[in-house]
Structure 1
Amino acid sequence: MIIESLRSLYNRDLNKLKTEIESYQNEDVIWKTDKNISNSAGNLCLHLVGNLNTYFGAELGKTGYIRHRELEFSLKDIPRAELIEKISATIIMVDDVLSQLTSEDLEKEYPLIIFEEKMTTGYFLIHLITHLDYHLGQINYHRRLLDIY
C-alpha cells in the first residue's frame, strides 16, 4: 500500500514540476534571480532531477547515474524543452524503481548515510518527496513573482 501511495505522490508532484516549468510565459525568466531569490527555477529543477536520479536511480535502481551537484546550481539557460525531457525521464525512472520495491525493501536500511545516521529506505523516500515539494513550492512562487507577462 505505501509503495502505491509513493508512486502516486511522486507521479503527481513530478508532473506538477513539469507543469510549472511549462507555465512560464517567458522562457528566459526560468533562469532569473532577483533580490533575495538566489536560485532560479531552472536551477531548482536541475537540482530536483539530480537529487532523485542520485538517490532513486543510482542507489536503488542501479542506473549508473553520476551526479554533478555543483552544475545543478551553476548551469544556466538550458532550453525549457530539455528541462521537460529531464523531468519526464525522471518520472519514468522513479516509477520504475518504486515498482520494483517491496514493503520489506522499505524497512531495510537505506544504502547511504545521508543525515549522519542510518535510516530506513521508506523513511528516506518520504523525506525525498518532502524535499521535492519544498522546491516545487519555491518554483511556483518564483514563477508567480517574476514571470510578468
Structure 2
Amino acid sequence: MLIETLKSLFNRDLNKLKVEIESYQNESQIWIIDKNISNSAGNLCLHLIGNINTYIGAEIGTTGYIRNRPLEFSLKDVPRPELISKINDTILVVNNTLDSLTEDDLKAIYPQIVFEKEMTTGFFFVHLATHLAYHLGQINYHRRLV
C-alpha cells in the first residue's frame, strides 16, 4: 500500500516539476535570483534530482549515483532540455527502486543516519516526498514572481 502511494506521489510531483520547468516563458528565467530569492528554480530542480537519486537511487536502488551537492546550488544555465531529461531519468530511478521493494523493506531501518537518528525506510521516503513537494511549491512561486 505505501509503495503504491509513494510511487503515485513521486510520479505526480516529478511530472509537475517538468511542467513547472517547461512553463518558464524564457529559459533564462529559470536561473534568476535576487536579494529576496536565494535559490533559482534551476538550482532547486538540480537539488531535488540529486536528493532523490542519492537517497532512493544510490542508497536503496544501488544505481551507483554519486552526488555533488555543492554543484546543485552553484551550477547555472543548464539547458532546459537537460533538466527535463534528468527529471525523466529520476522518475525511472524512483519507479524501478520502488518496484523492487516490499512493504517489509519499508519497515526496515534506512541504511544511513540522515537526521541524527535511525528511521524506517518508509518514514524517510515519505520525508523525501514532502521535501519534493516543498521545493516544488517554491519553484511554482519563483516562476510566477519572475
The interval holding the TM-score normalised by the smaller chain is over 0.9
Q: CA deviation at 1:2?
A: 1.1
Q: CA deviation at 1:128?
A: 0.2
Question: Structure 1 residue 62 and structure 2 residue 62: aligned?
Answer: yes
Which residue matches 1:6?
6
* Identity rate, percent: 71
Which residue matches 1:35?
35
In structure 2, distance between residues paired with 1:59 and 1:46 = 18
In structure 1, distance between residues paired with 2:119 and 2:18 = 30
Q: CA deviation at 1:72?
A: 0.2
Q: What amino acid is aligned across from residue 127 of structure 2 in structure 1?
A: H
Question: Structure 1 residue 19 and structure 2 residue 23: aligned?
Answer: no
Which residue matches 2:119?
119
Which residue matches 1:144?
144
Question: Structure 1 residue 91 and structure 2 residue 94: aligned?
Answer: no
Match runs of 1:69-84 below 5 Å:
69-84=69-84
The list of structure 1 runs, each at least 4 consecutive aligned residues, that deviate by more than 6 angstroms after superposition, is: none
Q: CA deviation at 1:36?
A: 1.0
In structure 2, distance between residues paired with 1:7 and 1:132 = 13
Partner SS state of residue 64, structure 1:
coil
In structure 2, distance between residues paired with 1:30 and 1:91 = 21
**CA deviation string 1:5-45 (max 9, x = no partner):** 11111100000000000000010000000221000000000
Which residue matches 1:46?
46
Taking structure 1 as the reference length, the TM-score comes to: 0.97
In structure 2, distance between residues paired with 1:115 and 1:2 = 22
Q: What amino acid is aligned across from residue 108 of structure 2 in structure 1?
A: K
In structure 2, distance between residues paired with 1:6 and 1:52 = 13
**CA deviation string 1:84-137 (max 9, x = no partner):** 000000001101100111000000000000000000000000000000000000
Question: Structure 1 residue 108 and structure 2 residue 108: aligned?
Answer: yes
Point out where structure 2 has 5 or more consecutive residues left out of the alignment: none
In structure 1, distance between residues paired with 2:2 and 2:119 = 17
Please tell me the root mean square deviation across aligned C-alpha atoms, in Å: 0.5
Taking structure 2 as the reference length, the TM-score comes to: 0.99
